Every structure is written in structure tokens, then in C-alpha cells.
């Protein structure tokens, strides 16, 4: 996994932990910073991964609007991790 993708995956896990600990303000601020980095990364991704990232961002914002912190934490821990793994594998295929 590239350093940037690895860093984003780590941030995602840390933000999920913040939401699970009811630190929603800190988590929301960290989420904005992470999403800004994802937006910057999107230009270098294939169209299918861009669409996937956009869908994940829409879902994260919907969870935030509903104040559904546990669903957001689950997405950050599962869906976002899968996305970052996919991006890393696409950037550096192993075979």
C-alpha cells in the first residue's frame, strides 16, 4: 500500500474510533480533513474508483446529517478500508 493510501486508511480507522467513543466533533473535523485528501486523490483514480469514492462520500455525509455516528464508524472501518485496499492494489498490482 502506498504511503498516502496507508495514511488515509489509518486516518479512517482513527476517525471511526473517535465516533465510537462519542467524540463526534473531533471525528467530524478529522473526517473533513480526510475527505479533502480523498478528493485530491480522486483525480488520479480510474473512473470506477472515482464513482466508488463519490458514493462512499455521499454515504458518509448522509450518516453525518442523520447523526448516525455508529453507521459512519462502521463505514469507515469496513467500506473505506476496502476502498483503500482496492486503490492500493490498483496502484501496485501484485502478480
pLDDT digit string, tens, across residues 43-69: 999 999 999 999 999 999 999 999 999
Number of domains in the chain: 1
Q: Residue 19 belongs to what domain range?
A: 3-91
Q: For residue 1, is pLDDT > 60?
A: no
- Range 7-24 average pLDDT: 97
CA 30/CA 26 separation, integer angstroms: 6
- Range 12-27 average pLDDT: 97
Tell me, rounded to whole angstroms, the distance of Cα 82 from its chain centroid. 9
Q: For residue 95, is pLDDT > 60?
A: no
- Range 9-26 average pLDDT: 97
**Percent of the chain as helix, strand, coil, to the nearest 5:** 85, 0, 15
Amino acid at each position: 500500500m502506498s504511503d498516502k493510501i496507508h495514511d488515509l486508511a489509518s486516518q479512517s480507522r482513527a476517525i471511526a474510533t473517535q465516533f465510537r467513543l462519542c467524540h463526534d466533533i473531533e471525528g467530524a473535523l478529522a473526517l473533513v480533513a480526510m475527505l479533502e485528501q480523498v478528493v485530491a486523490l480522486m483525480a488520479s483514480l480510474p473512473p470506477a474508483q472515482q464513482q466508488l469514492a463519490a458514493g462512499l462520500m455521499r454515504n458518509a455525509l448522509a450518516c453525518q446529517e442523520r447523526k448516525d455516528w455508529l453507521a459512519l464508524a462502521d463505514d469507515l472501518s469496513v467500506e473505506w478500508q476496502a476502498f483503500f485496499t482496492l486503490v492500493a492494489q490498483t496502484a501496485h498490482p501484485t502478480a
